Amino acid sequence: MPPQHFVILGGGISGLTAAWYLALNAPLTTKITLLEASNRFGGWIQSTRVGDDRILFEQGPRTLRPVGLGGLVVLDMINRLKISEFVHALPKDAPAAQNRYIFYPNKLVKLPGSNLISGIRQTLSTKFLLKSLSAVVREPFVRPVLPNLDESVHSFFTRRFNEQLADILISALAHGIYAGDVKKLSMRSTFTNIYNMEKSYGSVIRGAFSRNPSPPSDEDMTLVETINRDNEDLMKIINKSSLYSFKDGIGQLTNALVKDLRGKPNVELKVDSRVRELKFEDGNEIEIITNNGKFKGDHIISTIPAYELVKLLPMLPHLEYNPFVTVGVVNVAYEQPNLLPIKGFGVLFPQATPDNRHHVLGIVFDSDTMPLQDHPKDNYTKVTVMLGGHYYETFKEEELPDEEELLHQALQTLETTLGIYATPAEYVAKLQRKCIPQYYVNHHSRLGGLHNAIKENFKNRLSVCGSSYLGVSINDCVFNSAKLALNLLNDSKKDVVVTGLERVDVKIE
């Protein structure tokens, strides 16, 4: 018998998506309860308005990319939630989509974009880019290593290209996505597409130029086939933009999910409900004990961070292996338009940049990428400075900067790197504690161990999804939650144990 009462732990994008897909596909007799510890839904999605609501600040994620299967599922969700009209997209040909910078060694360097001529000129005039170019030319002839081996991102790019590329370009990318250290992040679990290109084509460059770089699995395709591709808004976004958000920020997506779920009779959403204990009883029942009560269910979907789940189920292996990094996020808005000396998506700081004493990871040019989220008549200049991440790993608690210090460090960075000396009209500085999981080398095989342990210990009563496991981007979180929900309701899977980690279920590693 399929579960009659699903209990979802965590009300971030992963938990809300799981609840929504269950509600769409389960019979009305199936109960769905979602428990969130804090006083709001959204998790790391934190869109807020300041300055009499004129300015939008994102203290967590700020943009979505319309790429991959996850990208399609998110767009379908937007379509079905009827919030397409609020989508703000950045056209592929806009300067903010084309221009990406790194700060190295002590100045802004524009990375070659899609304009061939200026790209060539830029490459020829920048020493490390020129060296990287020769490594790119050699790469198709570098022999691949044995299949299924994992290694650090740094080791992969050093082996196939050269160390400078890993230290400068790739470390900057790892800062932008994971706030992480290229020497520790797993190649297989963080740059999965590129990892697979070596496996399938023997070379990254050959893989990149092949017709279908990494074909999705048949199972993944069944999820995507449920999507209505005739939707014109949807296709327009996919076709013409490099990234998007909403009029009121990413929070508009989670707010729409909450609103829709509140209208469903078999769904209950609870805030201020921290799960403290799970008792798996004989038979099918599970007792769930929160800070303000207890009740019973028969299937748990955990979307809470792995370091929280281990407190509830200490017998599960590997949950504490990967650290979660802390990131300083400083939003700054100036009254004056066009204060930035350049137009673009932003600047990333590589690990190889010397004298990065404030541990800056990057600066996002929010007013260039999403210009219409603020009061339209005002033309603010708006940026976000991100600091810390893996650099804070060795810090003691008292060494972490407080919010005042973070603001000071961010403003100093804006002066020295972009020449902005103006006084901000509005700002918010936040230390986002343990916000991004770091998939360290061999994450994939540890997930395999976790998958088996869940199967053995809990049969069909526990499954997991969320950013701790199979991808941190919102696209990944949504895709994995949607897929898990459909698998749990799939009649032809009633004899298989569904854990949410099926993707790692491979024979011999």
x-marked contacts with ligand FAD along 19-58 as a string, rule CB under 6 A: ----------------xxxx----xxx-------------
- Measured distance CA(334)–CA(381) in Å, rounded: 5
By CB under 6 A, residue 492 contacts ligand NAG: yes
Question: Which residues in the 297-356 window bind ligand FAD by CB under 6 A?
Answer: 303-305, 308, 327, 329
The helix or strand, by DSSP H or E, that contains position 95, with its residue range, turns out to be: helix 95-98
Site string for ligand FAD, 243-282 (x = CB under 6 A): -------------------------------xx-------
Q: d(Cα 375, Cα 370) in Å, to the nearest integer?
A: 12
Question: What part of residues 459-488 is at the interface with ligand NAG (CB under 6 A)?
Answer: 486
CA distance 186 to 470: 12
Give residues with Cβ within 8 angstroms of 217, minimum separation 6: none
CB of 190 to ligand FAD, least distance (A): 13
Contacts of 481 (CB under 8 A, 6+ apart): 13, 14, 15, 17, 18, 21, 303, 465, 466
Total interface residues for ligand NAG by CB under 6 A:
12
Mark residues 406-435: x for contact with ligand FAD by CB under 6 A, - for none: --------------------------x--x
The verdict on 145 binding ligand NAG (CB under 6 A) reads: no
- The C-alpha atoms of residue 505 and residue 448 are separated, in whole angstroms, by 6
Number of neighbouring beta carbons within 10 Å of residue 228: 9
Interface segment toward ligand NAG; rule CB under 6 A; list 71-79, 407-415, 489-497, 500-508 = 489-497
Kindly state whether residue 361 participates in binding ligand FAD, applying the rule CB under 6 A.
Answer: no
490 contributes a contact to ligand NAG by CB under 6 A: yes
Residues 216-245 that bind ligand NAG (CB under 6 A): 222, 235, 238-239
Structure tokens at 6: 């699903």
The pattern of x and - marking residues 376 through 395 that bind ligand NAG according to CB under 6 A reads -xxx----------------
Helix segments in 370-442, DSSP class H: 403-418
| DSSP states along 439-476 | -BTTHHHHHHHHHHHHHHHHTTSEEE-STTTS--SHHH
Rounded CA separation 255/193 (Å): 31
Reported in sequence order, the residue ranges of 322-425 that DSSP labels E, i.e. its strands, are: 324-334, 346-348, 360-364, 381-388
If the CB atoms of residues 148 and 338 are measured against ligand NAG, the closer one turns out to be 338
- Which lies closer to ligand NAG via its Cβ, residue 377 or residue 507? 377
Near ligand FAD by CB under 6 A: residue from 69, 436, 464, 478: 436
- Is 125 exposed, middle or buried (CB count within 10 Å of its CB: 0-12, 13-18, 19+)? exposed
Examine residue 29 and tell whether it contacts ligand NAG (CB under 6 A): no
Tokens of 118: 């200026």
| Part in contact with ligand NAG (CB under 6 A); list of ranges 5-13, 263-271, 373-381, 470-478 | 373-381
Residue 176 CB, shortest distance to ligand NAG, in Å, is: 25
Alpha-carbon distance of 117 to 113, in angstroms, equals: 10
Q: Which residues bind ligand FAD (CB under 6 A)?
A: 9-15, 35-38, 43-45, 60-64, 274-275, 303-305, 308, 327, 329, 432, 435-436, 466-467, 472-475, 477
Q: Which residues bind ligand NAG (CB under 6 A)?
A: 222, 235, 238-239, 337, 377-379, 486, 490, 492-493
